[in-house]
């Protein structure tokens, strides 16, 4: 019985070890370049650039040339609601970007990132986001600038939280030894939990830390 079992194995081994098989000198890098699609990436970069420039331009045009229309359609919103909406959209953009980097073989998260980035840029354009947005929003919206300031605070708080998370994550990578049990904190699921914890803390500070009353 053992002779019968060994026969197919020997036959398969001889087949794969045959010198008649064609030889190839392609490396892994050559194989990757052969199957890469640079046109797809150029198209995606073009779409990404449009998602950054076009929505911001549309929002800024609406803010400057159709100010009364923007104010009338946003009059029913509260400052807390606006800051939360802009924060959620910005956090969603960062999350989809992280997922696009993790799931590098899938294009779904890349296009989700483009969608949320476009929404974030539209809000940034509407609210005149800049280093001196307090002055810009008052010049454009006057007494109604509180909502624009709230939206800017939501975007800025989300971005600041990302910077804090990056510092914490890099610090953990440097400090924690690879064989330590605390190394679990550097895993992807733990990193996402820490990221959202920092983001939630940031929006809580903005809403309840006196920033809203200053507007």
Residue 87: DSSP 8-state: H
- Nearest partner of 83 among 193, 198, 215, 192, judged by Cα: 215
Quickly count: other Cβ atoms within 10 Å of residue 69's Cβ: 10
Q: How confident is the model at residue 147, as a pLDDT?
A: 93
| DSSP SS3 for 153 | helix
For 12-42, what is each residue's pLDDT tens digit? 445 445 455 455 555 555 545 555 678 888 9
Interval 92-116 mean pLDDT? 93
For residue 61, give every residue at least 6 positions away whose Cβ sits within 8 Å of its Cβ, in sequence order, or none.
Answer: 125
Interval 197-214 mean pLDDT? 88
Q: How confident is the model at residue 27, as a pLDDT?
A: 57
Here the contacts of 2-10 (C-beta below 8 Å, separation 24 or greater) are none
Q: How confident is the model at residue 31, as a pLDDT?
A: 45
Question: Given a cut of 80, is residue 142 above it in pLDDT?
Answer: yes
With 0.85 as the threshold, say if the pTM is over it: no
Quickly count: other Cβ atoms within 10 Å of residue 168's Cβ: 16
């Amino acid at each position: 019985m053992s002779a019968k079992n060994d026969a197919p194995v020997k036959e398969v081994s001889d087949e794969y070890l045959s010198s008649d098989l064609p030889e190839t000198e392609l490396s892994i890098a050559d194989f990757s370049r052969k199957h890469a699609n640079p046109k797809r990436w150029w198209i995606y970069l073009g779409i990404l650039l449009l998602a950054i420039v076009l929505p911001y331009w549309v929002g800024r045009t609406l803010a400057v040339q159709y100010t009364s229309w923007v104010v009338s359609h946003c009059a029913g919103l509260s400052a807390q609601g606006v800051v939360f909406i802009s924060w959620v959209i910005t956090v969603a953009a960062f999350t989809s970007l992280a997922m696009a980097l993790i799931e590098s073989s899938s294009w779904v998260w890349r296009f989700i990132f483009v969608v949320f980035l476009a929404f974030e840029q539209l809000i940034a354009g509407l609210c005149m986001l800049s280093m001196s947005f307090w002055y810009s929003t008052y010049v454009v919206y006057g007494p109604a600038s509180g909502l624009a300031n709230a939206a800017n605070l939501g975007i800025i708080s989300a971005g600041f939280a990302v910077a804090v998370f990056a510092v914490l994550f890099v610090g953990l990578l440097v400090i924690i030894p690879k064989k330590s049990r605390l190394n679990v904190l550097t895993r992807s699921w733990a990193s996402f939990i820490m990221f959202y914890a920092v983001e939630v803390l940031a929006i809580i500070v903005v809403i309840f830390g006196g920033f809203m009353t200053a507007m």
